[in-house]
A and B are shown apart, each in its own frame.
Chain A
Amino acid sequence: MDTPAADWSDLPADVLGLVLLKLEFPDLFRSAAVCTSWRATARDIRRLGLYTRAQTPCLLYTTAAAGPRAAVIYSLADKATYTVRLPDPPIAERYIIGSSHGWLVTADDRSELHLLNPATGEQLALPSVTTVEHVRPLYDGAGNLHKYEVLFFDGNLRSNDEDLDAVTHPPETFREFFYLKAVISGDPSRGDYAVMLIHHPHYQLSFARSGDKKWTWVKFENNVLFRDCIYHDGVFYAQTLYAAIHAIDVSGPASSSFTHRLICKPCIHACYNVYIVRTPEGEILHLVRLTEVDNDREDQELRTAYVGACKMDLEKQCIKEVDDLGGNALFIGKNYSTCLSVKDYPQLMPNHIYFDDDDECWLYRKQLRRDVGVYDYENNSRLKTFVGNQLQN
């Protein structure tokens, strides 16, 4: 017997919801524009916080063609680009110092920080840079902000030393010098979060929890140089350039309280471009990136030449090089260092490392071609670079 054709606008909302939860965010947004019932369901699953699908990473950049107020998102999932208009201050004039859970951490032309969700346009201001322990605003005669001063103290050097070194920078260039990376504990649109900042002098840490009015300095007894940080199960794991790992718990009752303990002792010679990732299997990988300067070119561009990966053995306090990445895909750079299983993200290539550039000396020379690409770990070779020289940010 013949049944009438199915009416897809009449699909029960709970069943449609299951379907929409499987979609990456551009597809979800487009589904919300199909008909009124799909729209209602798409909005409901977002409003109720049900849409928690982990997204395939995207590359975000600005171009002259898109203008200063728009970012281009290249989706690895659907191999397409989208041009997104974003709220002020203009995205092309900001510096991106981190990205976690779909949100960017940006520094504006006064070096103040924002969290920005490029997909939804949501924006949150972080505590002022002047509340970081090491930073002082300097005003001119008319009372206008003139420069920021950074005092060079850490766990070793006391802040009250008379002969303490200090440098000053105008507000717009201060960000180039001061910020190294920012990492968010979780999706800020889903409740409480904390931001961990790796900053100068001496690659130190400060954090702010949602609602905080100021940054809290993570003070150590001695000089510890941090390069990367991840968050898992309530704790930040910060990695030094000697591959030591410190666990820092900022979830205490008082907003400025924290506890820390060393969970892995220093085990390599100092290396500047190091990363820490947690695999889906729960292992900790330590990554080293080596770059080379392309001397053939006049502008001396920096290029990623080699990426090494080691498994961290927390019991034996040592690291051991691995032959492959367990079929996973890795993401390193300014972003939250990530390891994803290609079983869950079939568009990604197994045992490959996706990178963007984060070298503090090169990153803000915006006229240079960016060092963005994919590295084949098993064959120790760099695949082709992502996009041409239009990347600005």
Chain B
Amino acid sequence: MAAATDDAGDSNEMIRVVSSDGEHFEMPEAAANLSLVLRHMIEDDCADAAGIPLAVVAAKPLAKIVDYCTKHAAKSSGLTIEEAEELKRFDAEFIEVDTDMLYDLLVAADFMGVEGLSKLAVQRTADLIKGKTPEQNRETFGIVNDFTPEEEEEICKENEWAFQITKPPSRLC
């Protein structure tokens, strides 16, 4: 569970959230404001001691999201170059997760409207897809090939060239 930090913006108010599986978390209001959904709830006075219920976000991804928001809210404006670099490193390490967690973060960040995290997870997923054949992507993401033989044939005809990835022998510029 993410600990509250003192340097999280002007507001000292802590916001409580509850995961779909009933775990409670809290974070500074400035951190919660990074989520569009939470910000609207706070503005509408829906944030009370019982916590805001997030019906589709389980505890595991929610803990990560609270971490992310707390870190980013603490370093939101007027960053020095070093701080910006540090935040970049935090992001890079933060998103080094397995595909199950990545999936949960993608969906939860989108649902909660955490723009920075959504972008981070989207880019990470795109990076995992890049340069792979359809079969390699199925392996990476644990996807079952559900095409009918007719569809397979159609796909092959359409963009067969894209499946033949040839890496030139010498390193080109």
Contacts and interface: CB of A to CB of B under 8 A. Distances in A.
Interface in B104-128: 104, 106-107, 110, 118, 122-123, 125-126
Interface string B123-137: 101100111111001
A79 B165 CA distance: 10
Interface in A165-220: none
B55 interface: no
Contact of B173 (A36, A84, A349): A349
Interface in A30-51: 30-36, 38-39
Chain B CB count within 10 A is highest, among A6, A38, A79, for: A6
Contact of B103 (A8, A78, A82, A83): A8
Contacts of A157: none
B167 A22 contact: no
Contacts of A79: 167-168, 172
A145 interface: no
A54 B108 CA distance: 28
Contact of A34 (B100, B137, B173): B137
A27 interface: yes
Contact of B129 (A15, A19, A82, A374): A19
Contacts of B110: 12, 14-15, 18
B173 A373 contact: yes
Nearest to B125: A19
Given A14-B110, A29-B162, A5 B100 contact: yes
8 residue pairs, one from A and one from B, having the closest CB atoms = A6-B103, A22-B126, A8-B141, A29-B162, A33-B134, A29-B159, A374-B173, A84-B161
B77 interface: no
Interface in B8-22: 21
A84 B158 CA distance: 11
Interface in B42-67: 58-60
Contacts of A5: 100, 142
Contacts of B138: 34-35
Chain B CB count within 10 A is highest, among A3, A7, A14, for: A3
Contacts of A383: 173
Interface residues of A, number: 45
Interface residues of B, number: 46
Given A18-B122, A82-B166, A30 B132 contact: yes
Contacts, number: 129
A8 B142 contact: yes
Contacts of A34: 134, 137-138, 141, 143, 145
A81 B168 contact: yes
Interface in A1-26: 1, 3, 5-9, 11-12, 14-15, 18-20, 22-24, 26
Given A8-B142, A30-B162, A387-B172, A18 B118 contact: yes
11 contacts: A3-B104, A9-B146, A19-B125, A29-B158, A30-B132, A30-B133, A36-B151, A79-B167, A79-B168, A81-B168, A374-B173
